[in-house]
Chain A
Amino acid sequence: MILVLFGVSCIVFFISHIIPADPVSAILGGNAPEEAIEKMEEKLGYNDPLPTQFYNFITGAVVGDFGVSLRTNNPVMEDIKRYFPTTLELTFLAMIFAIITGLTLGILSAVFRNKMIDQISRIFSIIGVSMPVFWTGLLLLLFFYYKLGILPGAGRIGFFSSPPDHITGMYLVDSILTGNWSAFKETIVHLVLPAFCLGFLATASIARTTRSSMLDVMKQEYIMTAKSKGLKNSVVIIRHALRNALIPTVTIIGLTFGSLLGGAVLTETVFSLPGLGRYITQGLLSLDYNSVMGGTLYFAFVYSLVNLIVDILYAVLDPRMRV
């Protein structure tokens, strides 16, 4: 995990320093006096040799110091703390949606193989994998917000309502903790579309993996044993087959989490949610390297953390993995 993170830091660092753009003149404008530019470059450390800059970046990153954002003038870590809860809330909601619908569809597909429900869920999956997140998002907005007007279009919470007291930064959690149910309801309503939009893609791949691994497991001899015990079909499927079939599915869930974080960048932009994804995008547009590097690295960190959890889950699910 540490190696992975180091690799990611190298990549983000070098990519952002190779880009032929000049953040200093972006800040000061094209007509800035020579000495102001020099002063700024000195201040930001751009006059140091690249290895020194890299060293400073890495040593800072280890303790969570990514420097100061050029755009917001806050330490990047503080910005991350402010923006990440939105992203986390969104991805979690999308993930929960994806896991529940993906598993259900996958199991139903496998059990009623080649029947109507299987066909429908396969079409659903194909659509899910093929539609780009931003396009799905726009379509959803067009339909539910513009045409039907039943769901809000942008933001985390209604314009005139105040957010719940800040505890974790995740409005859902905060509103539960403070018992602020109207805020809870409003946040949920605001998150339905983005979470669905983001979860759609993940649902599709989870459903497909579950279907194929269920089909594979159902052919195994121990399923025949379970049936020969006279167990109900539902018991055979859920108790005996599903636990075995979940092992490959869990891998996919971990991997999909990565694409969800990536998708969050697009979804947040489409639905104007103030999340980390949008923070990075805006940082990139204004050549704010510190925030881009910090945000990306933070994403990578979360992603590897999730996959670490997945690895631990393996051992819980499959006794053969326990050593």
Chain B
Amino acid sequence: MEARANLLDVSNLNVVFYTYRGVIKALNGVELWMNKGERLGVVGETGCGKSVTSKSVMRLIEEPGEILSGDIIFDGRNLMDLSEAEMRKIRGNEMSIIFQEPVSALNPVMNVGFQIAEVIAKKKNTRIKKQYPAAAEMLEFVGLDSERVMKMYPHELSGGMAQRVMIAMGLAPQPKLLIADEPTSSLDVTIQSQILSLLDDLVSELGNAVMLISHDMGVVAEFCDKVLVMYAGNSVEYASVKNLFRNPIHPYTKGLLKAVPRIGRIDELKAIKGTVPDLVDPPLGCRFHKRCPNVIDICKVELPPFEEIEPDHYVACYNYSSDKGGDQ
């Protein structure tokens, strides 16, 4: 299959988690791709598999989870074929990740300087101590007073500072791809916008590709070039930001946008009826069909393919598919 993009091309990604309640089918054939230097927003409600997707891309899914199948082509290599040792060379080197809760994502017994220097030392294959100046430089880069912060421990940092440290740590190895898993959701609003614009500036300067996981449509609209909408472990719609917000096609995306408040908006916010399906026992066919206003028969039995219905606009919905399954 021809790669759809030149940095990352994830296709048919299936991830499950084994629990006492049964097997959670967390990702059910996720499709996702990114070009170099591009910013992709991944949106969807809680539990739709955004974070699992981001961890899968780094192959950080652990027991009781497992990547069942799928291809993750990153920079010309299929990560699924690599050994754990080869994967380690990619992690924290060509790819890095920023987590949602910065304070708990930093090791409480190590000072900030050490934790940043550690990742640089790993990339350059030197002793950690030698990289303290480089770590200090990174801290200055994210707007922190390096002299003071280097020696600080995570519990002494505020949420915003900790997230800056995480960003410094993520960008320190100058990765080709930075995954930001809800980097702002645990911060308060003013800090959120600060962190986001900081990330924006730094990434523009360095030119890394960023995958921004978020449930905040506004953040994505502001920050990203492309958007992928996920629902219950499926990719349901992919388009450029402009296109998606102007012309949403999938019924779920439409529903999602109707639920977003905007200044000047005077009509009532509409919630999508129903609830997210239980992924231990997901509905047959399209996982959205029970809540979908435009459901047709085939949706109940078969998963719609993720198809390009207009240039660079992909949707998984039988209402728009060329393949109507012979029903119509």
Residues of A at under 8 Å CB distance from B?
Answer: 220-222, 224-232, 240, 243-244, 317-320
Q: Are A220 and B88 in contact (CB under 8 A)?
A: no
Return chain A residues, CB-CB under 8 Å to B155. Answer: 319-320
Chain B's nearest CB lies how many Å from the CB of A96? 24
B27-62 CB contacts (< 8 Å) to partner A: 55, 58, 60
With both chains docked as a complex, state the minimum distance between the C-beta of A115 and any C-beta of chain B, in angstroms: 12
| Residues in chain B within 8 A of chain A (CB atoms) | 55, 58, 60, 87-93, 96-97, 99, 101, 104-111, 118-119, 122, 153, 155, 169
Inter-subunit contact B99/A221 (CB<8 Å): yes
A221 to B92 CA separation, bound complex (whole angstroms): 16
Residue numbers in A under 8 Å from B58 (CB-CB): 228
| Selected A-B contacts with CB under 8 Å, 26 pairs | A220-B104, A221-B101, A221-B104, A222-B104, A222-B108, A224-B55, A224-B60, A225-B97, A228-B58, A228-B60, A228-B91, A228-B96, A229-B91, A229-B122, A230-B89, A230-B90, A230-B92, A230-B93, A230-B119, A230-B122, A231-B122, A243-B109, A317-B109, A318-B108, A319-B109, A320-B108
> Which residues of chain A come closer than 8 Å to B87, judged between CB atoms?
230
CB-contact partner of B119 in A224, A229, A317, A318, under 8 A: A229
Q: Which residues of A contact B91 (CB under 8 A)?
A: 227-230
Q: Given A221-B99, A225-B99, A230-B93: A320 and B153 within 8 A (CB)?
A: yes
Q: Beyond the given A222-B104, A225-B99, A230-B88, please list 11 additional residue pairs across the A-B interface where CB-CB is below 8 A.
A: A222-B107, A227-B60, A227-B91, A228-B92, A229-B91, A230-B119, A231-B88, A231-B122, A243-B110, A318-B108, A319-B108
Q: State whether B109 touches A244 (Cβ < 8 A).
A: yes
A residues in contact with B118, CB < 8 Å = 229, 231
Bound complex: CA A31 to CA B17 (Å): 83
Query: What's the Cα separation between A224 and B107 when bound, in Å?
Result: 10
Which residues of chain B are near A226, meaning CB under 8 Å? 107
A317 to B153, CA, bound (A): 12
In the complex, what's the smallest C-beta–C-beta distance from B57 to chain A, in angstroms? 11
Of B99, B108, B109, most A-chain CB atoms within 10 Å: B109
Q: How far is the CB of B254 from chain A (nearest CB, A)?
A: 35
Report yes or no: A318 in contact with B122, Cβ–Cβ below 8 A.
no
Listed residue (A225, A232, A243) with the most chain B CB atoms within 10 angstroms of its CB: A225
Least Cβ–Cβ distance between B75 and chain A, in angstroms: 15
Measured between beta carbons, the chain B residues less than 8 angstroms from A320 are 108, 153, 155
Contact pick for B97, options A228, A232, A240, A243, CB 8 Å: A228
With both chains docked as a complex, state the minimum distance between the C-beta of A235 and any C-beta of chain B, in angstroms. Answer: 9
**Distance in Å: Cβ of A273 to nearest Cβ of chain B:** 39
Residues of A within 8 A of B119 (CB): 229-230
Pairwise interchain contact A319-B153, C-beta atoms closer than 8 A? yes
* Contact between B105 and A221, CB atoms less than 8 A apart: yes
* Chain B residues closer than 8 Å to A317, beta-carbon distance: 109
Cβ-closest chain B residue relative to A247: B109
Task: Decide if B108 touches A244 in the complex (CB within 8 Å).
Answer: yes
Q: Which among A220, A229, A317, A320 has the highest number of chain B CB atoms within 10 Å?
A: A229
Which B residues are CB-close (under 8 A) to A227? Answer: 60, 91
Nearest CB in chain B to that of A317: its residue = B109
- The answer for the CA separation of A317 and B107 in the assembled complex, in Å, is 12
A224 to B104 Cα, complex, angstroms: 10
Residues of B within 8 A of A224 (CB): 55, 60, 99, 105
A229 touches B92 (CB 8 A): yes
Q: Is the CB of A318 within 8 A of B109?
A: yes
- Report the separation of the CA atoms of residues A221 and B55 in the bound assembly, to the nearest whole angstrom: 12
Shortest distance between the CB of B54 and any CB in chain A (Å)? 10
Closest residue on chain A to residue B94 by CB atoms: A230
A226 to B109, CA, bound (A): 13
The 8 nearest A-B residue pairs measured at CB: A230-B91, A230-B92, A229-B92, A319-B153, A222-B107, A230-B88, A221-B104, A229-B119
Least distance between A323 CB and chain B CB atoms (Å): 12
Residues of B within 8 A of A244 (CB): 107-109
* Chain B residues positioned under 8 Å from A221 (CB to CB): 99, 101, 104-105
Measured between alpha carbons, how far is A220 from B105 in the docked complex, in Å? 8
In the bound complex, CA of A228 to CA of B89 (Å): 10
Q: How far is the CB of A146 from chain B (nearest CB, A)?
A: 48
Contacts of B88 in A (CB 8 A): 230-232
- B101: chain A residues at CB < 8 Å are 221
Minimum Cβ distance to chain A for residue B79 (Å): 13
Bound-complex Cα distance A226 to B169 (A) = 11
Residues of A within 8 A of B93 (CB): 230
How far apart are the CA atoms of A5 and B153 in the complex, in Å?
A: 36
- CB-nearest residue of chain A to B111: A319
**Min CB gap A268→B, angstroms:** 39
How far is B108's CA from A228's CA once the two chains are assembled, in angstroms? 17
Q: Quick check: A225 and B107 within 8 Å, CB to CB?
A: yes
Chain B residue at minimum C-beta to C-beta distance from A241: B107
Nearest CB in chain A: distance from B165 CB, A: 11
Please, how many angstroms separate the alpha-carbon atoms of A5 and B106 in the complex? 41
Chain A residues with CB below 8 A from B107, complex form: 222, 225-226, 240, 244
User: Which residues of chain B have C-beta atoms less than 8 A from A220's C-beta?
Assistant: 104
Give the chain A neighbours of B92 by CB distance below 8 A: 228-231
Q: Which residue of A lies closest to B118 (CB)?
A: A229
In whole angstroms, what is the CA distance A173 to B96 when docked? 52
User: Which residue in chain A gives the minimum CB-CB distance to B84?
Assistant: A233
Which of B60, B106, B122 is within 8 Å of A222, CB to CB? B106
Q: In the bound complex, what is the Cα–Cα distance between A320 and B106 (angstroms)?
A: 13
Task: A222 to B90: give the CA distance in the assembly, Å.
Answer: 19
Cα-based distance from A229 to B107 in the complex (angstroms): 13
Tell me, in angstroms, the Cα distance from A222 to B104 when the chains sit together: 6
